[in-house]
A and B are shown apart, each in its own frame.
Chain A
C-alpha cells in the first residue's frame, strides 16, 4: 500500500474492473461449442424442473409444515427459551440500526448504550439487513421489518412473532397512532394488519407498485406512502387511494400533536451521483418548509434513510449518509423542530430510526 489517501472515482473503479475482467482466449469458444454439440437438450417437465429442485421443494414443504405446527402449538408465537427479558434503562431513547443490528442511543447524554439488552429473533448482517423499525405507541412492542418477515417483539417478555412474509423486496412498517394497526409496505402492496388478542389479522390489501415507507396521518385514519416519484395516500380501510400533488418527497413524519410535519425531499436522480437529500420541517396545515437542512447524498430512489420525532415533539432525528452543504459526517443526528441544535448523536443507521415512546 502506498499510504496515500485513495479517492474512489467512477473512472478508477471501471478501470479496476476492466483490468480484472480480461478477455477469453480462442480455445474457450471451441471447447464450449464442442461440448454442447454432443449434448442433448432437456425437454418436457424434466427440462424445466430438475430432480434436485423437486427434492428441495419437498424438503421446504416439510420444514414449513413443522414450523406451522410449532406456531400453532405456541398460540401463534415462536418461543425463544434462551432469550432473557428485555430491559431498558433510558426513557425516550432512539433505536437505530448500525451494521444491521439495533443500537440504543440516549440523545440527551449523546451516549450509545451498546449494552442494550434488546434481543432480536435473528442475527442481521449486511447481506440480510433489518430494513426498519416502528415502536408501538406504548413503547412496549417493536415491529421489525426484515427482508423475510415482519416480526413483532414484545419487550416485556422477550417473545417475538412472525406477522407476514415480505418477499424479495423487503418490508417497511408503521404503527398507527392508536396502536391497533400496523401498515406494512410489502410485495407491491400496503397491508393493514390489526393486532388483536387473537393475533394479527390482515384486514385489507391494496395493490400498489413498489410503495415506500408508510406514515400515518395524525388522526390515524389514513396512511401516506411513496410510489415511483410521487406521494400517495390511502384510507386504513383500503379505500380512497389518492395521488398527492408534488414530487421528490419520501419519508414523512408528523409530530405527535399533529401540528408539524417533517419530511425528506429528494433532488432529481442522477445515475452516477445519486440524489441529494434535504430535511424539511414545517406546519402540517400548509406543508411549507420553515426549516431546510441539506443532509447529504444517497444512492436511493423512492426511499430515504428515515426520520422520527421525539415522543415529546420537540426534536427530530434523522440519518445522514454524509456530505451535503453542511458537510455532515455519516451518522445519526438530532435537531430541534425550529432547526437549531443540530447534533450528531451516533453512528449511521440505514434503516429508519425509531424513537421509543416513554413507557
Chain B
C-alpha cells in the first residue's frame, strides 16, 4: 500500500475553505483545488483505464463537472469523496461506451529494450487487472495505489464498508486466479 499518498489528509483539511470559495464562483480558489488534486484524479483514471488519452479526457471532464456543479455541493467536507466518485463513474461510463464500439489500433510500436524480470511481473499483473470489472479495479486502485482505508473507500463509492471489504477480497482473489491461469 502506498502510505505516502495518505498525506493528502492534511490537504483536504486545508482545502475546505477553498471549496467553499470555489463554490461561490472564485476561479482562483478552484485553480488551487485543481492543482492540488490533478495528479490524484489523473492517476486514478489512468490506473483504471490504462490509456493516457482516455485518462486525460476523464480528468478534464471531472474537473469541468466539478466546477459547474460546485454550487450544488452541500457539504464541502465531502468534496474529495465526490470528486473521486465522479472519476470512477466517468471511467465506468467510458469503458461501457468502449465495449459498444470497436477501437482500431493504428500502429503498435516495437519494444525499445528487453524488459527486466520485475517489468515482466508488472506487465503480467497489469494485463490481469484488465480482466477485472471496473468496480473491482477502482477498489484496488483506491486501496493499493492511494492507500485509502476501507472506510474512506466506502464513502467514496457509496457502499457499506462490509461490501468494500468483500469486494476487495474478491478482486484480489480473482486477480490472483487470472495470474495463475495466465502462467
Contact = CB atoms under 8 A, between A and B. Distances in A.
B43 interface: yes
Contacts of A19: 122, 126
B168 A299 contact: yes
Interface string A286-311: 00000000000011111100000000
A31 interface: yes
Contact of B39 (A3, A23, A47): A23
B67 A12 contact: no
A29 B72 contact: no
Contacts of A4: 183
A2 B145 contact: no
Contact of B158 (A3, A5, A168, A299): A168
Interface in A4-61: 4-6, 8, 10, 12-24, 28-29, 31-33, 35-37, 39-43, 47-48
Nearest to A4: B183
B71 A6 contact: no
Interface residues of B, number: 64
Nearest to A48: B72
A354 to B, nearest CB: 19
Interface string B6-47: 000000000000000000010100110011001100111011
Contacts of A14: 1-2, 144-145
A66 interface: no
A127 interface: yes
Contacts of B141: 17, 21
Nearest to B158: A168
A272 interface: yes
A24 B42 contact: yes
A36 B162 contact: no
Interface string B79-90: 000000000000
Given A1-B182, A12-B121, A21 B168 contact: no
A126 interface: yes
B135 interface: yes
B140, B150, B160 — most chain A CB neighbours (10 Å): B160
Interface residues of A, number: 54
Contact of A10 (B1, B46, B69, B121): B1
A23 B122 contact: no
B175 A32 contact: no
B92 to A, nearest CB: 11
B160 A18 contact: no
A274 interface: yes
Given A24-B42, A28-B42, A210-B162, A126 B183 contact: no
A39 to B, nearest CB: 6
Given A8-B172, A17-B47, A21-B47, A300 B2 contact: no
B166 A32 contact: no
Given A20-B129, A272-B1, 14 more contacts: A17-B129, A28-B42, A29-B35, A32-B59, A32-B60, A35-B60, A36-B27, A36-B30, A36-B63, A41-B25, A41-B69, A42-B72, A169-B162, A299-B165
30 contacts: A1-B182, A2-B183, A10-B1, A12-B122, A13-B125, A16-B121, A16-B125, A16-B129, A18-B2, A24-B38, A24-B39, A24-B59, A28-B38, A31-B60, A32-B38, A32-B64, A33-B27, A37-B27, A39-B68, A42-B69, A42-B72, A126-B133, A170-B163, A210-B161, A271-B1, A299-B165, A299-B168, A303-B162, A303-B166, A321-B169
Q: Which 10 A-B pairs have the closest CB atoms?
A: A299-B169, A16-B125, A21-B43, A24-B42, A17-B145, A169-B160, A36-B67, A48-B72, A21-B47, A6-B179
